[in-house]
Structure 1
């Protein structure tokens, strides 16, 4: 893998660790779940052949530290972090942005609030459950996740979380962003270390996020919504599909399921690169 140029950026209430590779148009990759820059290890070299690729650890995860470790987390603040990276690394031109899962929610908010800084956003399965007609049931499920985490701890809360993500409600290993990546032990340890933060502060805030559908309806010429080919019926895919229907934009299919970035990295990287050079058809 190509060695990155690594640096840090001070933002409001945090210090972000970021890495830059390649040359060409700027492409900012926003990870989901407990993923940081390392989440894109399997695709970054392919993308860096045609882009200046920026990966980073979101605030509070891995090497991006919070000034106040107990601070509440908000989508708008995470999107502002992404904006600060764009302002630093592509000050004179709009950039390309990819986000997956909770990172896709960040990318959607960035597009809605600062479309002048974004050439195109590719959002893979943003779990925007607030757009769903049965949102009340999902709010109750998220409340159970929070209460289970408070009263029983991390692993029981992860089980409740994973159950709610599946179409049939069957408890399985928490596939959406919580499956340990099959990489080095140090990376696995970082994943585990980030789970309490993710379940306790990212999940409740991000999955309560309601996208500005009216605003986004005027920006569909620069938005691609994507789903995993194996994700049919799962909650993040269903929410993203409903949003695509509301906006009248087509769905692009990526290899694998919600974590296809991990399970099918070569094919996923090819699909992602193609999504930035294929004209958007509304």
Structure 2
């Protein structure tokens, strides 16, 4: 995000909320997660996106049947468009994640302030929370905490947006 303040100054901030970046993990954890992604794709190809996402409680800490929603919030229904997005995500984005080999040095040298973040309700053993922790270590910066879990932008949209505004305004968690 690029923000121009009232005084004309520009700030660049990139929140990295639970980045799906297995390359940040230690070899054993990375290999385990890569197998999980590949398995999800195999299940998707055989049985569809709903079956492929069945392990969400373990893999992402998301249990649609038991997740906190901010007061006044409503669960977002799975429309035909969202179902198509899930299909595309599993088929294409999981492959991109598995094949990604980002060079860490440019991340450490960028002028953009990268702010790793995780959801308050994402369990510590979930891989993308671990990726946020490793990104924080790599960049030697604190981790921002967002409301909700991995999908806090959907379960806590108002509080999530407020946290984004706070990070932009202060540049710190």
Q: TM-score range by the shorter chain?
A: 0.7 to 0.9
State the shift of 1:221 in Å.
Answer: 6.0
Offset at 1:174?
Answer: 9.6
Q: 2:146·2:160 contact (CA, 8 Å) conserved in 1? A: yes
Give the whole-Å Cα distance in 2 for the aligned partners of 1:150 and 1:232. 28
Cα distance in 2, alignment partners of residues 172 and 128 from structure 1: 22
2:23 maps to 1:126 = no
Partner secondary structure for residue 36 of structure 2: helix
What do you get for the CA RMSD once the two structures are aligned?
3.3
Question: Does the alignment pair 1:249 with 2:144?
Answer: no
Equivalences for residues 150-161 of structure 1 within 5 A: 150-160=45-55
Separation in 2 of the partners of 1:205 and 1:153? 19
Pair 1:26–1:131, CA change in 2 (3 A): closer
The unaligned stretches of length 5 or more in structure 2 are: 67-73
Q: Quick check: 1:220–1:249 contact (8 Å CA) kept in 2? A: no
Task: Give how far 1:280 is off.
Answer: 4.7
More strand by share: 1
Distance 1:250 1:221, change over 3 A: farther
Q: Does 1:238 align with 2:130?
A: yes
> How many residues are paired up?
161
Cα separation, 2, equivalents of 1:231 and 1:220: 29
Question: For the Cα contact (< 8 Å) 1:228–1:260, is it kept in 2?
Answer: yes
Q: Residue 207 and residue 172 in structure 1: after superposition, are their counterparts in 2 closer, same or farther (change >3 A)?
A: farther
Provide structure 1 residue ranges, at least 5 long, that are not aligned to the other structure.
1-24, 28-49, 52-92, 97-118, 176-180
Cα deviation, residue 242, structure 1? 1.2
**Distance in 2 separating the partners of 1:174 and 1:239:** 25
Residues 207, 250 of structure 1: alpha-carbon distance in 2 compared, 3 angstrom cutoff:
farther
SS state at 2:75 partner:
coil
Q: Which runs of 4+ in 1 moved over 6 A?
A: 93-96
TM-score (norm 2): 0.76
